[in-house]
Amino acid sequence: MEKRTLGKSDLSVSKMGLGCMSLGTDSANAEKIIKAALDEGINYFDTADLYNYGVNEELVGKALASIRDQVVIATKVGNRWTENKDGWSWDPSKKYIKEAVKKSLKRLGTDYIDLYQLHGGTIDDPIDETIEAFEELKSEGFIRYYGISSIRPNVIREYVDRSSIVSVMMQYSLLDRRPEEVMASLKENGVSVVTRGSVAKGILSDTILSIKENQWEGKEYLDYSSNEIKELIESIQAKLLHDKRSLNELALQFNLANKAVAAVVTGASTIEQIKDNARAVNSTALTKEEWAFLHMVTRESHYTAHR
């Protein structure tokens, strides 16, 4: 699988990363899915301390221990969970980040994290303090690089201007084009975009093509109504889908067509999902005609309304 450089770092990541949140808590099954990802050429694995209250990091670390130097492990910080593990609160303080990284390192069974990401962020955060924490962790050798996971343009701009982030993880799809507001600026500043939510909760996957007429109700997404979603899918199906091109391919290739995007991170709870997504990202890139049609039918007004 093709690899791309993440921002100004020396991290070379597969253009499809495995989002590990959906692995579950069964160690044997998680190892099978991660092995299937490795077999497809995936070297980029994204987790977070919050997923299953640390269990996800443990599973990822265990599965990748024997090939630690061959993979890129990304995790996240900022959500402090309660002692009873029944909820969490936002804490981007320097003190918490520097405590949390040591716990993540222990769960992952590694002495360094390739990409440490702030798991959210608001404009009211102590941003300079947060950046200072990440910079110290870099200088101390606990992390190689850092980034943020955010869809807030004002927060993203602050980190681009004031820090050395190498990536921003954002929800991005044909139905959610909000990130386009900042993508050009990120590209100019040498910050890569890592996308999630590329199939819009399954609406842009091939399974949607088999639903019946009376099953469209409840398929709203952001400010798209069920009827708009139905019409959009039908227009894409009529114009672009054929034996050699699937809806899943179009959704993932749409993300990868943006020059700011280094990788799409997709979740998987089965081996077959890994294989399907790998086939999609390894398929032919969008033609100019496909790209133009997809941009036309999704309308920019749908993302500018969400600023």
Question: For the domain that residue 265 is a member of, what is the CATH number?
Answer: 3.20.20.100
Could you give the CA distance from residue 236 to residue 294 in angstroms, rounded to a whole number? 8
301 occurs within a structural domain: no
Note whether residue 159 is domain-resident: yes
Query: Each residue of 167-194: pLDDT tens digit?
Result: 999 999 999 999 999 999 999 999 999 9
Question: Is 289 within the bounds of a domain?
Answer: no
User: What distances in angstroms separate CA 222 from CA 41, 44, 68, 124, 200, one per listed residue?
Assistant: 33, 29, 39, 25, 10
User: Considering only 29-33, 64-68, 265-269, 295-299, which range has the smallest mean pLDDT?
Assistant: 295-299
Residue 171 located in a structural domain: yes
Evaluate whether residue 298 is within a structural domain: no
Number of domains in the chain: 1
217 assigned to some structural domain? no
pLDDT digits (tens, 9 = 90+) for 86-101: 888 899 999 999 999 9
In this prediction, what percent of the chain has a pLDDT beyond 70?
97
- Mean predicted lDDT score pLDDT of the chain: 93
Instruction: Give me the catalytic one of 44, 51, 146, 221.
Output: 51
For tokens 């050429």, the residue is 41
Per-residue pLDDT at 299 exceeds 80: no
116 pairs with which residues across the strands? 75, 146
Contact 14, 41 (CB under 8 A): yes
Split at pLDDT 50, 70, 90, the class of 302 is: very low
Q: How far is CA 230 from CA 29, 170, 242, in A?
A: 35, 25, 18
Give the model confidence (pLDDT) of 209-239 as tens digits: 888 888 888 889 998 999 999 999 999 999 9
243 inside domain: no
Tell me whether residue 51 is one of the annotated catalytic residues: yes
pTM: 0.92
Question: Has residue 142 been placed in a domain?
Answer: yes
Domain that holds residue 156: 3-201+251-284
